[in-house]
Amino acid sequence: MTSSVPHFKTHFANLFRQAANRITTVDPHARIELTRTKQASHGDYSCNLAMQLAKSLRQNPREVAQSLIEALPASPYLEKVEVAGAGFINLFLKSTAKQQYVQVILHNKEAFGCSDYGQGRKVQVEFVSANPTGPLHVGHGRGAAMGASLANILSMAGFQVTREYYVNDAGRQMDILALSTWLRYLEHHGVSIPFPANAYQGEYVRAMAQLIHQAHAQRYVHHPDQLVEGLPDSARETPISTDDELDQLIANCKRILGQDYAYIHNFVLTEQLGDCRNDLMEFGVEFDTWFSEQSLFDNGLVNHAMQLLDEKKVLYQQDGATWFRSTDFGDEKDRVVCRENGQFTYFASDIAYHLNKFERGFDQVINIWGADHHGYIPRVKGALQALGQDTSRLEIALVQFAVLYRDGKKASMSTRSGEFVTLRELRQDVGRDAARFFYVLRKSDQHLDFDLDLAKSQSNDNPVYYVQYAHARVCSVLAQWGGEADELLQADTSVLTESAELALLQKLIDFSDVVETAARELSPHLIAFYLKELAGEFHSYYNSTRFLVPDTSLQLARLALVASIRQILNNGLCLLGVSAPDKM
């Protein structure tokens, strides 16, 4: 921060530490916590240190509090300090301390809210990581909004953030997509078999088949007899539906196409990944790294990880498969890493992937997973532990599914038959800003009821507009004033003495603490709640107080205040990937 005004919580915590050292040698490591009070009568900040020390000092908490206050070094920012309740120490800030923050905010602009909480530690956030086998749906949308917002928050809180998307380009699912596309292509040429019930049904598969046809005409057409080899005769008339049959079909497909298979596979992957990337970009979500699962195999990292596990004696053979003894590390049962057919499981490449993440030197690795994957956590952490890694570096944030509501009814979201709502449709329906905001309006590990009608409505019920409207209102006022931004820096803010003004100032000061808490708790929703509160206080102030008053000194001070409010609204909305419009 480029100002002499300190971060109050840190400042007061230091004072209390000194005070504690003066009155006792007990609990030198006790964390000293300053909290914002809920009630104005309790002052601005509160400290519960006395109550924490009381037990070991065998003294009445209120007496300890009194001793602490007497030992507290003087602070130029404090109006008064008092003991309250069971032994709380309440701090009352001087108005001037708050008023100075207007200048600080106007000076630091979009950097206000930044802190060194993260101390430049390297943190990776891996999110979305959806299989590139079809369009992103609204479930992915929440993970995308959550991850992107969280990454921004961590960055503001002083972490060095890398945003990563893990591309599952190696597995069976990709084979199924390639097969599906090829079958549609054959269908187009009238030489296919009934489309398998367990292949990808979506319209986008037909679209890809069409593209291949346009580019290469009949080059990949083959006789249908070869297709059904190893399959029951009925496969010519009725769609197959079992996994075994589909695997047989995939094998036939690879054999028939030979080297051309790689082309189809690569084509559908590139196509889907490109679509995904565009979709996310339009959603305001971008990544630093797109990490290929296939590359783990190509670079021998999977074999390497398996070898290490083997050296640690935590692998064993049974029923022709290779198992990882995850029960030794808290899992419910042991897990297969290599199947009877010699193929590695998804778990195997995931072990290699996470080991690789750790070896890339991130101090902290955050995975954002759908909550339905929670059962997967013990085995991944178990594997890392087996490899001698410090699993506390890995944090997994679970995101519950969002349930869409339209006309008060659940909008169906079955992944089968391509009936699911895509993220793209959602964006086109409610707009990017509303979608981004609504997704982070709840604690992410809670179910989210997404009210589509509300998100679309241009009414005061809609929290997105409520916050954006506050921003636009400030812009409008400043435009009518017509002055230069530099003039605001000269404002004498000591005339901001109304209770609403002092409350707003405190609210602005809180911003960096909220960012820090959101970073610590991996909770973007705190930013959304904060913005709603700040906007609410502003709207109230707006209605009760006129800014463009004849008293030019008072006018300038109030304009400086609302300009700083605008700055914080902008900074907060930016964290969430929501625009801050000048006009509405």
To the nearest whole angstrom, how small is the minimum distance from the Cβ of residue 221 to RNA?
Answer: 29
Q: Which is nearer to RNA, 212 or 572 (CB)?
A: 572
* Among the listed residues 145, 158, 163, the one whose alpha carbon sits nearest the alpha carbon of residue 577: 145
Q: Which one among 11, 36, 222, 254 touches RNA, defined by CB under 7 A?
A: 36
To the nearest whole angstrom, how small is the minimum distance from the Cβ of residue 255 to RNA?
Answer: 20
The answer to whether residue 552 forms part of the interface with RNA (CB under 7 A) is: no
How far is Cα 217 from Cα 213, in angstroms, rounded to an integer?
Answer: 5
Q: Which one among 2, 4, 25, 41 touches RNA, defined by CB under 7 A?
A: 41
To the nearest whole angstrom, how small is the minimum distance from the Cβ of residue 1 to RNA?
Answer: 20
How far is Cα 60 from Cα 68, in angstroms, rounded to an integer?
Answer: 12
Q: What are phi and psi of 284, to 5 degrees?
A: 80, 25
Count CB atoms within 10 A of the CB of residue 135.
19
Contact residues for 22 (Cβ-Cβ < 8 A; gap 6+): 71
Report 446-475 residues binding RNA (CB under 7 A): 446-449, 458-463, 465-466, 469, 472-473, 475
Q: Which is nearer to RNA, 243 or 487 (CB)?
A: 243
Q: Which one among 207, 373, 419, 483 touches RNA, defined by CB under 7 A?
A: 373
DSSP 8-state class, residue 446: S
**Residues in contact with RNA, shown as a per-residue x/- string from 495 to 524 under the rule CB under 7 A:** ----------------------x---x-x-
Report 428-447 residues binding RNA (CB under 7 A): 441-443, 445-447
Q: How far is CA 394 from CA 31, 159, 334, 500, in A?
A: 24, 15, 21, 43
To the nearest whole angstrom, how small is the minimum distance from the Cβ of residue 245 to RNA?
Answer: 13
The answer to whether residue 112 forms part of the interface with RNA (CB under 7 A) is: no
**Residues in contact with RNA, shown as a per-residue x/- string from 115 to 134 under the rule CB under 7 A:** ----------------x---
Report 273-312 residues binding RNA (CB under 7 A): none
Count CB atoms within 10 A of the CB of residue 348.
25
Q: Which one among 229, 311, 340, 425 touches RNA, defined by CB under 7 A?
A: 340
The answer to whether residue 543 forms part of the interface with RNA (CB under 7 A) is: yes
Q: Which is nearer to RNA, 220 or 507 (CB)?
A: 507
Task: Considering only the C-alpha atoms of the chain, give the largest distance between any 2 of them, rounded to a whole number of Å.
Answer: 93
How far is Cα 435 from Cα 445, in angstroms, rounded to an integer?
Answer: 18
To the nearest whole angstrom, how small is the minimum distance from the Cβ of residue 475 to RNA?
Answer: 6
* Among the listed residues 357, 364, 288, the one whose alpha carbon sits nearest the alpha carbon of residue 520: 364
- Torsion from C-alpha of 335, 337, 343, 348, nearest 10 degrees: 130
* Among the listed residues 445, 449, 450, 448, the one whose alpha carbon sits nearest the alpha carbon of residue 371: 445
How far is Cα 59 from Cα 113, in angstroms, rounded to an integer?
Answer: 39
The answer to whether residue 336 forms part of the interface with RNA (CB under 7 A) is: yes
Q: Which one among 290, 297, 329, 542 touches RNA, defined by CB under 7 A?
A: 542
**Residues in contact with RNA, shown as a per-residue x/- string from 246 to 275 under the rule CB under 7 A:** ------------------------------
Report 138-177 residues binding RNA (CB under 7 A): 168, 171-173
